Amino acid sequence: MLKHRVIPTLLIQDDALVKTIKFSAPKYIGDPINAIRIFNDKEVDELLVLDISNTRENRIPDYSLIEQFATECFMPLCYGGGISTLDQASTLFNLGVEKICIQNAYIQNPRIISQISEKYGSQSVVVSLDLKKTLFGGVKIFDYSRRKYLHANWLNLVQRAIKFGAGEILLNSVDNDGLMQGMAIDIISEASDNISVPLIAAGGVGNLDNIKAGIEAGASAIGVGSYFVFHGPHRAVLITYPKYAELETLLKGINR
């Protein structure tokens, strides 16, 4: 396994695989089960699946669908979307999910992180935050479900999540999402310099050099969406993933 992970990130809306641009205008991609089967064949090390409609529509996880994901998935699966209680997390783990990703529930009730990590271990809990730059150049947390900024300092919330037991942090750049024009390197660098757990950075990957730049900036792993599901200038749907040797050569010599 590579020292630095490159993780396909699948967005689910109403049971369908979609992809957004700057967290808006979800485009239908296809059947998520089919995508998982393709990534199985490409020997992906880890998969991240996020349901982007559950929290916004106040729904609990679709356990039947997630069970299908876990059954089909040959690699470790991290799932996020609509998780707000320890019982829900327990159900997901029992279905075969290895990690859960929590965002809104953490902001509303930070102790949910310690409840889950104390029972299942910190390695099973990923805390996610969506970050967006303001008109004045600052960075704030963006509440996707309510489409507004939060006043809390994003780095303080990251550090508090770690204190409560988060084993990994996922930072999504709203401004870079889906554009395939490069990652928010400044955010990745600042976060990695101030936290003690693995950092997953997502948003903006359009080529292998973008992945390398994110790792060099301090990310432990890169979450990739559009680059692995679109091909060519017209963004035709084509699910791909680099060969292991290609990634090994790309990331060779990075010491962070």
Q: Give the model's confidence band at 139: pLDDT under 50 very low, under 70 low, under 90 confident, else very high.
A: very high
Strand 125-133 versus strand 139-143 pairing type: antiparallel
**What are the pLDDT digits (tens) for 94-110?**
999 999 999 999 999 99
Domains within the chain, CATH numbers bracketed: 5-251 (3.20.20.70)
The residue type found at 53 is: S
Active site residues: 130
Q: Please state, as a whole number, how many other Cβ atoms lie within 10 Å of the Cβ of residue 114.
A: 15
SS (H, E, C) 18-86: EEEECCEEEEEEECHHHHHHHHHHCCCCCEEEEECCCCCCCCCCCHHHHHHHHHHCCCCEEEECCCCCH
Structure tokens at 2: 């590579």
**What are the pLDDT digits (tens) for 22-55?**
999 999 999 999 999 999 999 899 999 999 998 8
Q: Give the model's confidence band at 182: pLDDT under 50 very low, under 70 low, under 90 confident, else very high.
A: very high
The structure's pTM equals: 0.96
